[in-house]
Structure formats: C-alpha cells, structure tokens
C-alpha cells in the first residue's frame, strides 16, 4: 500500500453559517450570472457589483466575503448578513501517493459528500458527486453500500469544485503537479447524476460559465437511466456521456447494476447508439473489471457483439476493493481482455487507478468517516 495522508480539518477557510436546508439565505456559490445580478440589485447595489462578486467566487476562488476587498465594508457587511458564500465545511482530506486528493465535505444539514481532485499527466480533473449516497445500489460500490440520503443542490455540486480549486490555488498539489487549475470535470463521484437531472445541468451551466470549463471537458456518467439519457438528447447543447456498463451479458449486469432490471441492456445500448448519432459525441463505456464476473475472454467477445456499431470508447477499470466479496482480476487477465477488444477494432484504455491506496474507492472515505477514520488519525 502507498502512504495515505489523512487530515481532519477543524476549521474550513470559508464563510460558513449554521444553515439548515430550510434556511432561505441565498447561497452565492450556486447562483448563475443572472441570479447573482438580481440578488445584488435587490440588496440596493448597482448591478456591476454582481460582476465583482462573481469574479471573486468563480475566478479568484475566494472562500470568504471579507476577501472581496474591492467591495465597500458596508456592502460586505450586508452580504454577510443577507447571504452565505457557502455553508459547506471540509472535515477531512486524504492525499494518496500520486497526489490524488479526496475531500470529505460536511453539508449544511450535517450530511457528508466526497469530491476528488485527480492528478493526471497533462491536467487536473475534478470528480464530483451528485447525491448523498446512491439509490442504484451496485453491490461492488462503496457509495451503494452507504445507502441513499438525498439529492445535492446545484450549489452543493458547484462548491465541490470551488473547494478543490481553492486548495489547488493555495499550492496543495505543488509537490505532485505543475498545474494550478482544474480543467476537466467528471460526474463520477457519489450518486447517479441523471436521477438529479436539473441540479446537475444547472451546476454544469455554472461550471461552464462563469467558471470557464468547456462543455467538451465535462462528462456526465450514468448507470443507465434511460429517461435521463432521452432528456439529454433533447437539450440544445451536447454533453459528453459515460455509461457504467460493467457487462455485456444481461444476466450478469442484473447482478452488478440492479437498475438493469428496469432499464434493460438492449434498451440502454439502443439509447447509447441514438445518443452518439444525434450528438456526434463518442460514448464512453465504463467497465469495472471483476474477477469471476466479467473479465474472461468469453465476456470480452460478448461485449464486442453488444457494442458493434456504436461510436464509443471502452474504459477498463481495475476494481478498487471495498467491504464486499468482489476482487480485481490479475493484471495479465485485464491486458488479455483489452487485447481482444482492440483486435475487434474498438478503442479501449485501462484507467489508471488514481489514489489506489486505503479508502481509494468512491464513497469509501465517507463510509468509514466516523470511528474508523478517527481511530486512524488518533493512532
């Protein structure tokens, strides 16, 4: 195992109030440009102040209203009284040997959610969560093991990015990478994004503008929620789509992805084909390799027959173990699987397991965030 550094945060560098979800105070990190402009004018200020506030939050990544030094003290006082920049608090961070950094964030109602900054060769990627827990319930997934609590708001989604970008801007990853900006976003954290459709798309609009992440650098991942995929196809803008496939055999996928009972594999692949044809975007199929379930040469051939004719890319993922009976196949088995797929004419990669240390799997830090984590920190 590589060394994992875990830190418990006693104080978070943000403007944080004890806000329940019922509190009506506007949360600035979740407002788009028009909403922010309306708010600022309602507070009695000129609308150009909205651009100043927006720049501090989404370009300078300020975590406190007091940092907004080109605003008058009186206006800052009004903002602090009438709004909250963010009610969220970083309570733990975990840094793996490759620099991959996981943040455990406490939300206003006390729930917790994970977000991850992934260090890659040419860029930094933010992996964002869309729900507290997940109600799809895949048996090999740490998030699924924790159950479902609720959907995240667009403010809670966007703030995951802002929290991580603030840390990067402060030099948190300078030991691991020369990059100081996160330039890619994947919705592959906790939860099923297409079961929180509206908040996810609203958050993407903010990530795109004013934060400045191009849509082609933002990917929505789904376990196969067909109504959500159909809605995406009707949107005026095209989004990158990743589908957590995990098997080309319907019976095996029933076991690995329970939503397959409702939205079947043939239906899902039909929608994937239509999505790729309509949007011109290549579908990414995520395929977690599980020993004894989906990693044999026969499994590869079945997969080839299912994906034939779909404009796609296959991403093989060696399983990150959690408290479950599943295991990753040996490396040579994964390479043999990849070779069969490549020889059939498909583009296929093996995803590097960034942060493959203790509690590296998505949802795992949250799952063990109480007594087990504290015991490790205090030891």
Structure tokens at 89: 């608090």
362 is annotated as an active-site residue: yes
CB atoms within 10 A of CB 259: 22
How far, in Å, CA of 287 to CA of 243, rounded?
Answer: 9
The dihedral built from the CA positions of residue 68, 73, 77 and 82, taken in this order, carries a sign that is: negative
**Known catalytic membership, residue 45:** no
Beta-carbon-side half-sphere exposure of residue 238 (alpha carbons within 13 Å)? 12
Catalytic residue among 114, 154, 156, 192: 114
Instruction: Match 């087990």 to its residue by tokens.
Output: 372
The full length of the chain comes to 379
Burial class (CB in 10 A: 0-12, 13-18, 19+), 34: exposed
The CA-to-CA distance between both ends of the chain, in Å, stands at 18
Q: 350 near 311, Cβ under 8 Å?
A: no
Q: Which one is catalytic: 59, 154, 362, 378?
A: 362
Task: Quickly count: other Cβ atoms within 10 Å of residue 240's Cβ.
Answer: 19
Do the beta carbons of residue 205 and residue 236 sit within 8 Å? no
DSSP state, 261? Answer: G
β-strand 124-127 against 112-119: which pairing, if any?
A: antiparallel
Percent composition of the chain: helix, strand, coil (DSSP 3-state, to 5): 40, 20, 45
The encoded tokens of residue 221 equal: 């991942």
Answer whether 304's CB lies under 8 Å from 275's CB: no
Q: Which are the catalytic amino acids? A: 114, 362
């Amino acid at each position: 195992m590589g060394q994992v550094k875990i830190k418990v945060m006693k104080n978070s560098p943000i403007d944080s109030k004890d806000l329940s979800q019922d509190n009506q105070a506007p949360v600035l990190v979740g407002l788009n440009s028009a909403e922010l402009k309306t708010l600022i004018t309602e507070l009695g200020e000129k609308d150009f102040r909205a651009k100043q506030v927006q720049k501090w939050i989404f370009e300078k990544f300020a975590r406190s209203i007091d940092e907004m030094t080109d605003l008058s003290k009186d206006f800052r006082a009004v903002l602090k009284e009438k709004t909250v920049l963010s009610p969220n608090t970083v309570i733990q961070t975990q840094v793996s040997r490759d620099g991959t950094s996981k943040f455990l964030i406490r939300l206003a109602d006390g729930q917790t959610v994970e977000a991850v900054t992934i260090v890659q060769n040419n860029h930094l990627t933010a992996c964002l969560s869309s729900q507290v827990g997940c109600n799809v319930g895949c048996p090999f997934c740490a998030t699924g093991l924790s159950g479902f609590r609720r959907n995240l708001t667009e403010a809670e989604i966007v703030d995951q990015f802002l929290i991580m970008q603030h840390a990067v801007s402060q030099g948190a990853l300078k030991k691991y990478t020369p990059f100081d900006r996160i330039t890619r976003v994947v919705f592959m954290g906790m939860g099923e994004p297409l079961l929180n459709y509206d908040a996810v798309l609203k958050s993407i609009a903010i990530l795109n503008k004013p934060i400045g992440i191009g849509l082609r650098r933002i990917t929505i991942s789904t376990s196969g929620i067909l109504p959500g995929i159909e809605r995406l196809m009707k949107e005026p803008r095209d989004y990158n789509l990743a589908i957590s496939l995990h098997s080309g055999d319907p019976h095996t996928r029933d076991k690995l992805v329970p939503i397959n009972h409702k939205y079947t594999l043939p239906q899902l692949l039909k929608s994937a084909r239509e999505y790729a044809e309509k949007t011109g975007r290549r579908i990414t199929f995520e395929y977690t390799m599980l020993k004894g379930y989906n990693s044999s040469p026969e499994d590869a051939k079945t997969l080839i027959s299912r994906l034939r004719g779909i404009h796609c890319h296959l991403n093989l993922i060696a399983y990150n173990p959690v408290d479950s009976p599943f295991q990753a196949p040996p490396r040579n088995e994964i390479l043999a699987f990849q070779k069969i797929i490549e020889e059939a004419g498909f583009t296929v990669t093996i995803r590097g397991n960034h942060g493959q240390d203790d509690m590296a799997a998505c949802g795992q830090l949250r799952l063990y965030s109480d007594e087990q984590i504290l015991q490790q920190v205090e030891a």
